[in-house]
Amino acid sequence: MIKQDYKPRNNTKAFSKSAFATLPVWTTHPFAIVGYAVFTLMLAILLFKDDEISIEDSMIESSIDRVAEEAESVKSIQLESGLINSGPINLDLPSTNESVSTANQAKIKNNHFEKQTPIKETGISKVRPGTVRPDSLIPSALIQSKKQTTQFINKDKNTKYSSPTIIPLNFTNSKNQKYALKPLASSLKWQSESVRKNDNLSLIFKRIGLTPQMVYKISTLDENTKILSNLRPGKSIYYQLGTNQELLALKYVIDLQNTLYVERESFERRGADADINKSDKLVSRMVNKTIETRTAYISGIITDSLFLSGKRAGMSDSLVINFANIFEWDIDFILDIRSGDSFSLLYQEEFLDGEKIGNGNIIAADVVNRGDVIRAIRYTDSKNNSSYYSDTGLNMRKAFLRAPVNFRYISDGFNPRRFHPVQKRIKPHRGIDYAAPVGTPIRASGDGKVIASSYNKFNGKYVFIQHGNSIVTKYLHLSKRLVSRGKRVKQGQIIGKLGSTGMVTGPHLHYEFVVNGVHRNPRTVKLPKAEAISRNEKANFLIASRALVIQLENRKQIQSSQLVAK
């Protein structure tokens, strides 16, 4: 609603005569008008320059992106054709976020175009120099990209210029690298030839169809191939032959860890070196595989014999034997074991390429015999000598073995008033008769010197060993003697085979233990104490021993809890 007293205002036109009349006189002067025009023109020129710079920046960035795409495609094509080695293309592209002041200081000399074309400096920073292929190998797509990049050029003489921005391409082909080692990639299957008895490399190559010259060339190739002069029967030599029956590759598996390869390597020409031609030669290499060891745990309760109980627990035959050998100085596993005794051990399992190939050493073990715990720890000293010790540092290897043979049972024990089954009279039996099959190995119970190795009608074939000045051990009724008088023997060394020679009723070993000329019961005689670990090694041993004992006990507790949970 409009009020009654409202009257519209009459506005004066801005450029009416009365309006010009209010302006100062100098503003309408001709020189002032010319100044206004010049200022307007300069402002328009400045605005046009800013638009030109922004267009030029965007075109340069898009050009760089196109060059990167071109380089990637060129690299992939050259990789497929084998002109260059595999590897990422190193495009050190500049960052557009750096300041103009940094760009003004970055002037890079262009060595990759025939002519230097000036480009106005923008926010593009200096790039790092890189390795560029020779000009002859730069594809035309890159030259075209350069032309597209330099088409927006300011002709003003007062404008500062810098050299063109270089985009380095990391093509690793240098004149210093005339050859590129390229192993022969053959899809042929390996053929094999078995090594026979009295075989050698010459006979094997003759069967394959290779010349004696090739035999000489391979056998004298280098140190690796010298092993081919001592081939083992039963092994195989694997080989590959070319279309002209020439040898391409040879393989010989030495053992599980080591394999010998003899291959023909190709050196192909690279670059523009016309005087280098393709050539082949034989080279050898030894492939060594590492055996991985893992710690495993087994425990069990003896209900009949150690061997059968160990097998039920998952132990192999060799593992049971090694376990028994550790404790053979302290426990007679035939006579001393009782039902309810237990055993546990930590041992190493060996793996090659993820597959188990066997068992390693036992590193910790214990036996509970009639309530007594006997524990053994494997320790390797600073001189790399390994042995088994009790957890207090006493050597498990005593001066003498309790039993010099793995026997089935004792056919006759130590008895001063024993009735002789052949002579039919009371005659002291001053030793122990261990019954076992004919041919069972007999071991020396301790280090010593053989003082007798002979035969008589009562003892049959026999061996006597002197241990120090006071102890003699005697081994009677052998089927074969393996040592002679005057020889020195080590504990555990096989000195003969069990038999039934002499005055006997069946195959067995008669074993006597004489101390200062007095016969003693081999099973009950007090043996010399074991040597303790040296003082220099004692501290390190105790640390290692405690760790293994804790691990062994923890495994026992875990297994016990699992059995209770079941």
**CA distance linking residue 546 with residue 98, whole number of Å:** 63
| The two structure tokens encoding residue 153 | 């050029």
Regarding pTM above 0.85, the answer is no
**CA distance linking residue 182 with residue 268, whole number of Å:** 8
Answer whether 515's CB lies under 8 Å from 471's CB. Answer: yes
| The two structure tokens encoding residue 271 | 């670059």
Residue spans of alpha helices (H) in 194-254: 201-208, 212-219
**CA distance linking residue 564 with residue 213, whole number of Å:** 72
Give the count of beta carbons closer than 10 Å to the beta carbon of residue 124: 22
**CA distance linking residue 412 with residue 356, whole number of Å:** 44
Q: What is the largest CA-CA distance in the chain?
A: 168
Q: Which of 451, 441, 458 is nearest to 473 (CA)?
A: 451
Domains of the chain are 48-162 (no CATH), 179-288 (3.10.450.350), 409-520 (2.70.70.10)
Contacts of 531 (CB under 8 A, 6+ apart): 394, 395
DSSP-based three-state secondary structure for 410: strand
**CA distance linking residue 117 with residue 443, whole number of Å:** 95
Write out the chain's pLDDT in tens, 566 residues: 444 555 555 554 545 555 556 667 666 677 777 787 888 888 888 776 666 566 666 666 666 677 667 767 766 666 655 555 544 444 444 444 444 444 444 444 444 444 444 444 444 344 444 444 444 444 454 445 444 444 444 444 444 444 455 555 454 444 444 444 444 444 578 888 888 888 888 898 889 888 888 888 888 888 888 888 888 888 888 988 888 888 888 888 888 888 899 888 754 333 333 333 344 688 888 888 888 899 999 999 999 889 899 999 999 999 999 999 899 888 878 778 888 999 999 999 999 888 888 899 999 999 999 889 999 999 998 888 899 999 889 888 877 888 888 776 676 666 666 666 666 667 777 888 888 899 999 999 888 899 999 999 888 999 999 987 789 999 999 999 999 999 999 888 999 999 999 988 889 999 999 998 888 888 888 877 767 888 899 999 999 999 999 999 999 888 888 777 76
DSSP-based three-state secondary structure for 81: helix
Answer whether 207's CB lies under 8 Å from 196's CB. Answer: no
Residue pLDDT, tens place only, 483-515: 999 999 988 899 999 999 998 888 999 999 999
**CA distance linking residue 345 with residue 376, whole number of Å:** 9
